[in-house]
Chains A and B, each alone.
Chain A
Amino acid sequence: KQEVTQIPAALSVPEGENLVLNCSFTDSAIYNLQWFRQDPGKGLTSLLLIQSSQREQTSGRLNASLDKSSGRSTLYIAASQPGDSATYLCAVPSGGSYIPTFGRGTSLIVHP
């Protein structure tokens, strides 16, 4: 069974900082890995999807990397803004499945 761990659990930073959010998983035989954003009381917004054959994906100020062999993914947020404040979730399927297991998330606060 896939286990997903996200570090740190919470992060509070001033505006403008570059951030690194970490996700580790136990079963590396995965098809893909997905990063989501969740605002309080809201559903999930997909940020980046990395296929197993890819090493990284970029969207605007976001960059996600994937190292399957070590069971790790990193979400990098450049020049953070108050609007980035949210919970960031990492989702990884178990080996042989497309159904993801979610980490508990990193709660991010970016203050002006």
Chain B
Amino acid sequence: GAVVSQHPSWVICKSGTSVKIECRSLDFQATTMFWYRQFPKQSLMLMATSNEGSKATYEQGVEKDKFLINHASLTLSTLTVTSAHPEDSSFYICSATGRDSYNEQFFGPGTRLTVL
């Protein structure tokens, strides 16, 4: 089956620093990638949708200048949390769909971000 990886799996950083999270599709070309965040005991909230080579589309209430998304190739998307603060601590999950996947989403293992 289609595999999506994320790196790092967890990260701890100081308030005010920036953190980059990578999302890769390992065995298929991801035409669209999605970024979600999940708070404890809550469901996934879509942050943004990105298509390769174009700007990401952000959901209402998500600051595009704070959460920078780059989808540079058909196998890689990155999420950079800029000037992170403790309230940004969360579980960030990416997913991807491919041309032949009938829009089935394949999820990465997630990245746990803790901002001190």
A interface list, Cβ under 8 A from B: 31-32, 34, 36, 41-46, 49, 51, 89, 91, 98-105
Report A-chain residues with C-beta under 8 Å of the C-beta of B106.
Answer: 46
B interface list, Cβ under 8 A from A: 1, 6, 34, 42-44, 46, 49, 91, 93, 95, 97, 102-110, 112
Report B-chain residues with C-beta under 8 Å of the C-beta of A43.
Answer: 6, 93, 107-110
How far, in angstroms, from A105 to B49 measured CA to CA in the complex? 22
Report A-chain residues with C-beta under 8 Å of the C-beta of B107.
Answer: 36, 43-46
How far, in angstroms, from A16 to B86 measured CA to CA in the complex? 43
A41-B112, A98-B97 as given contacts; A46 in contact with B104, CB under 8 Å: yes
A42-B110, A43-B6 as given contacts; A32 in contact with B44, CB under 8 Å: no
Report B-chain residues with C-beta under 8 Å of the C-beta of A101.
Answer: 46
Do A105 and B43 touch (CB < 8 A)?
Answer: yes
A-B contact sample (8 more), CB < 8 A, given A46-B105, A99-B49: A42-B109, A43-B93, A43-B107, A44-B93, A45-B107, A51-B102, A89-B44, A100-B105
Min Cβ gap A82→B in Å is: 21
Do A32 and B102 touch (CB < 8 A)?
Answer: yes
Report A-chain residues with C-beta under 8 Å of the C-beta of B6.
Answer: 43
Do B103 and A32 touch (CB < 8 A)?
Answer: yes
Can you list 10 A-B contacts (CB < 8 A)? A36-B107, A41-B91, A42-B110, A43-B108, A46-B1, A46-B105, A49-B102, A49-B104, A99-B34, A102-B44
How far, in angstroms, from A94 to B109 measured CA to CA in the complex? 25
Min Cβ gap B113→A in Å is: 13
How far, in angstroms, from A31 to B102 measured CA to CA in the complex? 10
How far, in angstroms, from A105 to B23 measured CA to CA in the complex? 24
**Cβ-closest chain A residue relative to B34:** A99
Min Cβ gap B111→A in Å is: 9
Q: List 5 A-B pairs, minimum CB-CB distance, nearest first.
A: A44-B107, A43-B109, A43-B110, A98-B103, A102-B43
Report A-chain residues with C-beta under 8 Å of the C-beta of B108.
Answer: 43
A99-B49, A104-B42 as given contacts; A91 in contact with B109, CB under 8 Å: no
How far, in angstroms, from A38 to B91 measured CA to CA in the complex? 13
Do B104 and A34 touch (CB < 8 A)?
Answer: yes
